[in-house]
Amino acid sequence: MTPKPIGPNYLQKALGAIGPYAISLGLWAALIETAHLIFGAALSPSPMAILIELFKLTVAGDLFKHLGLTVARAICGVLLANMVGSLLGLAAGRAARTLKFTAPLVASLQSCPPVVWISLAMVFAGTGSIVPLATVFASTLPFVFSNTAQGVLGLDPRLSAVSKLYQVPRSRVFTRFIVPAVAPYWLAGLSTVLATGWKAAAVAEFMGSHDGVGARLFWSYNNLNMEQLHAWALALIALGLTLEGLVITPLRRWAASLSVRGKL
């Protein structure tokens, strides 16, 4: 069977997907090269020197080791926040008065900077994995709680009345009514939580951990190793772009489609 030739549509799709990243990489290289020419290699290494250092970190195994730690801590914190926040949100959404009285507290927690949670975690846990995990949990819990509760509040109260009238089992009410209503809100919140989680984990590692990308950034800065500092920064940016393109953006599209259709 003869292979299907690559037509212009495939090339256009490939260029459309790769083009923005290639342009961004080119702009990054131009900015770094300009800074290199102005400030010198001692403060701003050249793009080639940064890429070589990134290659060395990859070959040595340090890059994926510390990236893996940062991602694992962020995922654990997000999962824990989703379990606790979803349960609390489901309960609070059924009691609108309770949600009304707790709204100022939830709003204040949402606006609270991660440095507050980092400081508190370091007081009780010292330094280590607990600090970034607790920071991610505390930073993302209010978003999960709020979005889940809003989804429950959006339920038509007549559905509850009809379910009681016909004695529909609670498990069926949950799967057929509550889950479809909450899913768009929860997915929208999950995309925000994921976008926040890895950043909070990196900041917490910078201040209160011995390993992870954030900690590597701190030690590179502390030792004035500019090549490593820029290499770890580039790795962290690449991690954010990967999460945005592969996970966060699809989740937002899925949440938007569920909101339009009003069902799973």
Q: Is the pLDDT of residue 260 over 80?
A: no
pLDDT of amino acid 16: 64
Q: Is the pLDDT of residue 144 over 70?
A: yes
Q: Are 150 and 107 in contact (CB under 8 A)?
A: no
The arithmetic mean of pLDDT across residues 59-74, rounded, is 93
Amino acid at 249: T
* Structure confidence at residue 23 as a pLDDT band (50, 70, 90): confident
pLDDT digits (tens, 9 = 90+) for 47-56: 999 999 999 9
Three-state secondary structure along 11-66?
HHHHHHHHHHHHHHHHHHHHHHHHHHHHHCCCCCCCHHHHHHHHHHHHHHCHHHHH
pLDDT digits (tens, 9 = 90+) for 194-246: 888 889 999 999 998 889 999 999 999 999 999 999 999 999 988 888 888 78
Distance, CA of 211 to CA of 219 (rounded, Å): 10
Higher-pLDDT residue of 2 and 32 is: 32
Higher-pLDDT residue of 145 and 262 is: 145
Domains in the chain with CATH codes: 46-261 (1.10.3720.10)
Phi-psi region of 61 (alpha: psi -120 to 50; beta: other; left: phi over 0): left
* Structure confidence at residue 155 as a pLDDT band (50, 70, 90): confident
The arithmetic mean of pLDDT across residues 68-87, rounded, is 92
| Percent of the chain whose predicted confidence (pLDDT) is above 70 | 87
Residue corresponding to tokens 């990489």: 25
Residue corresponding to tokens 């069977």: 1
For residue 5, which phi and psi values (nearest 5 degrees)?
A: -65, 150
Residue corresponding to tokens 């339920």: 155
pLDDT of amino acid 259: 61
The arithmetic mean of pLDDT across residues 3-19, rounded, is 62
The 3-state DSSP class for residue 209 equals: coil
Higher-pLDDT residue of 31 and 13 is: 31
Residue corresponding to tokens 């090549």: 227
Q: Is the pLDDT of residue 7 over 60?
A: no
